């Protein structure tokens, strides 16, 4: 028995020594965790592409017009997730870009719209305005920062995971589309200043002067060259059979042009359409975005250092074209045909400049868009238009009838009603009671579909449907006292062109394509949310997800 005890003791000691030795030889050589993490199997560059106002069905509808090197390359050689939706209201640009990169909804990240009523400052504010900073590269347009975004982004988390090594650059025509994806720790975000400037600018939040490569780009004359031309269809217009006739009743007009028809003489139109601002409204806005992204890759040496870089690109002109002409116009079709060529050019450039297996890319959209309601009505599909002025009068009638005052509403914006709390207190009224009466009554207004109080959203958990998406978009600190939505295919807009913002599928269903290093080839009809992108990247990069993350990693796309 004594011998057995000694034998067991020796055996245990040897096992422990082996374990300690094994642990020691594993950890001692790793002097720098970041250096150890980066190796040849990981990408050197992550590229995030957001196409502003891209419906999922544009991948299918225009598939026959795309070449093999753009959308089709991403679809066929990457992973195509065909059933991805936004899970909140409102589906606007700033909210979409933020949700994609933070992995959460407005309830957590705090960007509740492009602009919204600040109930503390008693004024409307813009999502990225920040008077603490100044414009870099132009007289104005750059007093911006991401400080209103309360959570981190996947771009922030990548910087944190690498002890602030690695570069993050955000690029877009729109300021919010460059700033919010790039996060709080970005090296720079650049956006296009139109008017008489015609250049990419930034903010002192990032840097005090533009790098030489940006100045060289701005001095190259590219913006002017794109406008000293004519916009005509890429292919013969007779082959554009996927959209309505070129001259139809549902398209908006450029100033100085009597019909919404090709060709568009840009040299003449720029005079009446904001000079360089016209570039935003045509496919060439996407072209100069691609040009600038390529210049950034070279100028910042992205994807060629001992850390992982992140380039966040947003193509904004698709949104401007969609708003102007609608979802079923020849102009929109041509814009996507040309965007396909831009993607092909960008992918070829990434192959040669960064290396085919050295980058990982995703492409999605910040929201989709509704078919023009006037067109839907013409083919007997329900749809309509909301009149804000008539609604305000209706609201005053409610408060006068129930509470003997037409001064209880402080602001109505973004389909949210902000109560005048001071007036309610002065009249010895109960704010919750006032809110509930309003929510119960406004459902009787034409085209109001759902209404709910902030109190209900705070005390009730909705697990499906429109009220769930409203709840995900509701932020207790910033949102209004009553929220409401409109009937399907009902908008506050002109009867030409299109818009977005609802929680219905035409606004929520967007493409999501993953491609490159570490990504499988395949496709899936499984349902996912847009907030799943950030945790997917976090899982792939083996880093912590953004600090407000509520999404889940899409494991099936990863090798």
Q: Which pLDDT tens digit goes with each residue over 212-226?
A: 999 999 999 999 999
The average pLDDT across 27-40 equals 39
Closest CA relative to residue 309, chosen from 165, 100, 447: 165
| pLDDT-derived band at 100, boundaries 50, 70, 90 | very high
| pLDDT-derived band at 28, boundaries 50, 70, 90 | very low
- What pLDDT, on the 0 to 100 scale, is given for residue 249? 97
Q: Is the pLDDT of residue 30 over 70?
A: no
- What pLDDT, on the 0 to 100 scale, is given for residue 290? 98
Q: Which of 26, 41, 91, 93 is catalytic?
A: 93
Q: Is the pLDDT of residue 362 over 90?
A: yes
Pure H helices in 71-202: 71-77, 93-102, 106-109, 154-161, 175-182
Supply φ then ψ for residue 63, to 5 degrees.
Answer: -55, -40
Active site residue 550: no
- What pLDDT, on the 0 to 100 scale, is given for residue 380? 98
Homologous superfamily in CATH for domain 45-372+499-520 = Alkaline Phosphatase, subunit A (3.40.720.10)
Q: Is the pLDDT of residue 373 over 80?
A: yes
- What pLDDT, on the 0 to 100 scale, is given for residue 26? 34
Distances (CA, A) of 67 to 64, 182, 313, 412: 8, 30, 21, 46
Report the C-alpha gap between 273 and 88 in whole angstroms: 34
| pLDDT-derived band at 418, boundaries 50, 70, 90 | very high
- What pLDDT, on the 0 to 100 scale, is given for residue 41? 79
Q: Is the pLDDT of residue 436 over 80?
A: yes
- What pLDDT, on the 0 to 100 scale, is given for residue 454? 98
Minimum mean pLDDT range among 40-49, 270-279, 411-420, 501-510: 40-49
Q: What is the largest CA-CA distance in the chain?
A: 105
Report the C-alpha gap between 44 and 310 in whole angstroms: 9
**Multiple choice CATH, 387-446+448-486, 3.30.70.20, 1.10.287.3510, 3.30.1360.150, 3.30.500.10:** 3.30.1360.150
Which one-letter DSSP state was computed for residue 196? T
- Reduced to 3 states (helix: H, G, I; strand: E, B; else coil), residue 294 is helix
Structure tokens at 131: 């008077």
**Domain residue spans in the chain?**
45-372+499-520, 387-446+448-486
- Asked if residue 53 lies in contact with residue 280, where contact means CB atoms within 8 angstroms, the answer is no
Average pLDDT, the chain: 93
Position with higher pLDDT, 541 vs 9: 541
- What pLDDT, on the 0 to 100 scale, is given for residue 173? 98
Q: Is the pLDDT of residue 462 over 50?
A: yes
Identical fold for domains 45-372+499-520 and 387-446+448-486, yes or no, is no
Tens-place pLDDT, residues 510-558: 999 999 999 999 999 999 999 999 999 999 999 999 999 999 999 999 9
């Amino acid at each position: 028995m004594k011998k057995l005890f000694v034998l067991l003791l020796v055996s245990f000691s040897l096992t422990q020594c082996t374990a300690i030795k094994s642990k020691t030889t594993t950890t001692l050589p790793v002097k720098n965790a970041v250096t150890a993490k980066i190796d040849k199997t990981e990408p050197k560059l992550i590229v995030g592409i957001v196409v502003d106002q891209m419906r999922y069905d544009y991948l299918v509808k225009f598939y026959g017009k795309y070449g093999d090197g753009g959308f089709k390359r991403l679809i066929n050689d990457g992973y195509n997730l065909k059933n991805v939706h936004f899970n909140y209201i409102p589906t606007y640009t700033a909210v979409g870009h933020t949700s994609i990169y933070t992995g959460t909804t407005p309830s957590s990240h705090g960007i509740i719209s492009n602009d919204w009523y600040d109930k503390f400052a008693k004024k409307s504010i813009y999502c990225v305005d920040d008077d603490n900073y100044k414009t870099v590269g132009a007289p104005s347009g750059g007093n911006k920062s991401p400080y209103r975004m309360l959570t981190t982004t996947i771009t922030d988390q990548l910087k944190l995971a690498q002890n602030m090594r690695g570069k993050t650059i955000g690029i877009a025509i729109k300021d919010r589309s460059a700033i919010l994806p790039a996060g709080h720790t970005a090296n720079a975000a650049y956006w296009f200043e139109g008017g008489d400037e015609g250049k990419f600018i930034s903010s002192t939040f990032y840097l005090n002067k533009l790098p030489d490569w940006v100045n060289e780009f701005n001095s190259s004359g590219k913006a002017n060259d794109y406008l000293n031309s004519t916009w005509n269809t890429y292919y013969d217009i007779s082959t554009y059979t996927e959209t309505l006739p070129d001259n139809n009743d549902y398209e908006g007009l450029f100033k100085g042009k009597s019909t919404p028809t090709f060709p568009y003489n840009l040299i003449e139109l720029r005079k009446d359409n904001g000079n360089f601002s016209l570039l935003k409204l045509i496919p060439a806005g996407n072209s100069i975005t691609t040009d600038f992204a390529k210049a950034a890759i070279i100028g910042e040496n992205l994807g060629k250092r001992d850390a992982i870089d992140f380039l966040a690109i947003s193509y904004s002109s698709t949104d401007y074209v969609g708003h102007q002409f609608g979802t079923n116009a020849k102009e929109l079709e041509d814009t996507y045909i040309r965007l396909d060529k831009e993607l092909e050019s960008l992918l070829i450039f990434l192959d040669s400049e960064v290396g085919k297996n050295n980058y990982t890319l995703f492409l999605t959209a910040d929201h989709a868009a509704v078919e023009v309601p006037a067109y839907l009505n013409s083919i007997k599909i329900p749809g309509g238009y909301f009149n804000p002025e008539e609604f305000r009068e209706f609201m005053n009638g409610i408060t006068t009838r129930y509470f003997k005052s037409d001064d209880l509403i402080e602001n109505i914006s973004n389909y949210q009603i902000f109560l005048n709390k001071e007036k309610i207190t002065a009249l010895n009224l109960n704010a919750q009671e006032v809110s509930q009466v309003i929510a119960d009554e406004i459902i009787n207004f034409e085209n109001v579909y759902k209404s709910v109080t902030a109190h209900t959203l705070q005390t009730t958990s909705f697990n499906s449907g429109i009220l769930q998406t409203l709840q995900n978009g509701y932020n207790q600190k910033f949102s209004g006292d009553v929220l409401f939505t409109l009937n399907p295919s009902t908008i506050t807009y002109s009867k030409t062109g299109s818009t977005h913002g609802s929680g219905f599928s035409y606004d929520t269903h967007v493409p999501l394509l993953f491609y490159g290093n570490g990504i499988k080839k395949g496709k899936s009809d499984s349902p996912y949310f847009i907030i799943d992108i950030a945790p997917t990247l976090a899982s792939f990069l083996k880093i912590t997800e953004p600090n407000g993350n509520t999404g889940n990693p899409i494991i099936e796309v990863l090798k």
